[in-house]
A and B are shown apart, each in its own frame.
Chain A
């Protein structure tokens, strides 16, 4: 079931123990130096940051300790969006060689940029993660994350390639081909979302694939929240070690943190990212072990550094004497969000985006409900809207056309297919306070 552990109980050697196994003091020293450089870089090269540091009375040259960062305000996704597309870049565009983006709450997406050095930093993060969990140059890495503006595909591809492994950039979708290539190429590593991994398992079982005979040994699964029972299920069905991989494009993409083979918390790549946990209401920094919102500051990125970026992911930080040998701080598996963001098959969706589209549809009643379900382990999102006399013109064709036209408007605004279902008037519960706009039925057993 757990191929890496089954082969030997020996801990794999570490990629760069001088950092990942260094003591707390050493790591913090390293972080302080890098933080100073990052703040100076932001201050010198970007008006937004200069103004912001001046307003906060922070002189990057006078940063004395890591906790001085608490004097700086947080950066929010909204601010990234307001500076669309390149307003928060801190290097000239001729040094930027790649952009990625994630969906925005409304309107513009968030665009992130990378210099050549940034791409190497990114690769370094993922190489360390992969190497320390047993991936070497003779491995065959099947990257089933989407390639494109999403960071998942290219992130793993570049790192695995640099590590010297063989990369199969198959991207997402076409499950039967995923299975064929997995078997024919003898893929040993899978980079994927957990839900799509389960879907691959299901399709494979239906078509008679014996996963115990495949060569997969480890999967780096992320880009959406998942649970321990889901891990157990994946490991039992796919016969590989399933590791929780965490990242977000605003910070770098995958590679911010990942579990080691002990599967007890995600080691943060602390030489590149400074993590804090805050009380989401007061903004107060909380000690290790306290649950709150994750905040990251990038320490080595040049094109798109982030300073105290609020992820809205809820977790806690902790240190333990991890038998893997790494001393890097750990974060717990993210356990929720401070906002209403939904993650549907790796895509960030905000109810407000859906609402914005619906409100522009003529004659549509202002009541809607977003219904989330799972079908064959894949998230399905549906939006219920009510039929009113003004849109009901007695022909079925018209109603179906009406549904399809909203579906295509949602698709162009959000980028995923959202099914629209017409309901009778007053089907959707009216609320007297905050309207309940999302009905998450994904945990229900069908």
Chain B
């Protein structure tokens, strides 16, 4: 099953990320992992949290622009070659990866162009999705 990821538009300004973190703290929302991508004047913060809807609502109320996207998440072993194993499967099926990052518990979050197909091939290879 795909996981919900919360995405936030952030202007490139000192303290802006801290404001997001404070909102999550105040809402007692646990952060499982995140990644950032930056352009010239702004960036995108991607989060996997314990309660996506609640976090989204709180951020919206505070004036942030947000988006919820579906991504694939699964646990990997902490050992050499794990990333290659996964990527090889996706590459063989010509599934394109938009972005990938690691979250707590040695789990990988991957955004791909064809989620259904990716879930299907990964499960067939015995990879347990979270």
Chain B proximity of A388: nearest CB distance (Å): 6
Q: Are B65 and A388 in contact (CB under 8 A)?
A: yes
Pick out which of these stretches binds chain B: A39-47, A99-107, A417-425: A417-425
Chain B proximity of A407: nearest CB distance (Å): 13
Interface set, chain B 58-88, CB cutoff 8 A to A: 60, 63-67, 69
Chain A proximity of B58: nearest CB distance (Å): 15
**Beyond A392-B67, A426-B63, is A421–B41 a contact (Cβ under 8 Å)?**
yes
Q: Are B39 and A424 in contact (CB under 8 A)?
A: no
Which label, helix, strand, loop or mixed, suits the secondary structure of the A interface?
Answer: loop
**Beyond A395-B98, A399-B39, A423-B11, is A387–B63 a contact (Cβ under 8 Å)?**
no
Chain A residue with the shortest CB-CB distance to B56: A389
Interface set, chain A 407-431, CB cutoff 8 A to B: 421-427
Q: How far is the CA of A427 from the CA of B13 in the complex (A)?
A: 12
Chain A proximity of B20: nearest CB distance (Å): 12
A387, A400, A421, A426: which contacts B9 (Cβ < 8 A)? A387
B31: CB under 8 A from chain A? no
**Beyond A392-B9, A396-B37, A396-B39, is A424–B63 a contact (Cβ under 8 Å)?**
yes
B10, B63, B67: which contacts A394 (Cβ < 8 A)? B67
A360: CB under 8 A from chain B? no
0/1 string, A356-399, CB within 8 A of B gives 1: 00000000000000000000000000000001110011111001
Chain A proximity of B48: nearest CB distance (Å): 13
How many residues of chain A are within 8 Å of chain B by beta carbon?
Answer: 17
Q: Are A389 and B65 in contact (CB under 8 A)?
A: yes
Q: How far is the CA of A399 from the CA of B11 in the complex (A)?
A: 13
Q: Are A425 and B63 in contact (CB under 8 A)?
A: yes
Q: Are A424 and B69 in contact (CB under 8 A)?
A: no
Q: How far is the CA of A427 from the CA of B10 in the complex (A)?
A: 11
Q: Which of B7, B67, B69 has the most CB of A within 10 A?
A: B67
Q: How far is the CA of A423 from the CA of B43 in the complex (A)?
A: 10
Q: How far is the CA of A423 from the CA of B9 in the complex (A)?
A: 9
Q: How far is the CA of A395 from the CA of B43 in the complex (A)?
A: 10
A392, A400, A423: which contacts B66 (Cβ < 8 A)? A392
Q: Are A422 and B63 in contact (CB under 8 A)?
A: no
Chain A residue with the shortest CB-CB distance to B69: A394
B44: CB under 8 A from chain A? yes
Q: Are A424 and B9 in contact (CB under 8 A)?
A: yes
Chain B residue with the shortest CB-CB distance to A394: B7
Q: How far is the CA of A427 from the CA of B41 in the complex (A)?
A: 13
B residues with a Cβ closer than 8 A to A are 5, 7, 9-11, 37, 39, 41-42, 44, 46, 60, 63-67, 69, 98
20 contacts between A and B (CB under 8 A): A389-B60, A389-B65, A389-B66, A389-B67, A392-B7, A392-B65, A392-B66, A392-B67, A393-B67, A394-B5, A394-B7, A394-B46, A395-B44, A399-B39, A422-B9, A424-B9, A424-B42, A424-B64, A425-B65, A426-B63
Further contacts, 20 of them, CB under 8 A, given A399-B44, A425-B65? A389-B67, A392-B65, A394-B5, A394-B44, A394-B46, A394-B69, A395-B44, A396-B37, A396-B44, A399-B39, A399-B42, A422-B9, A423-B11, A423-B42, A424-B42, A424-B64, A424-B65, A425-B64, A426-B63, A427-B11
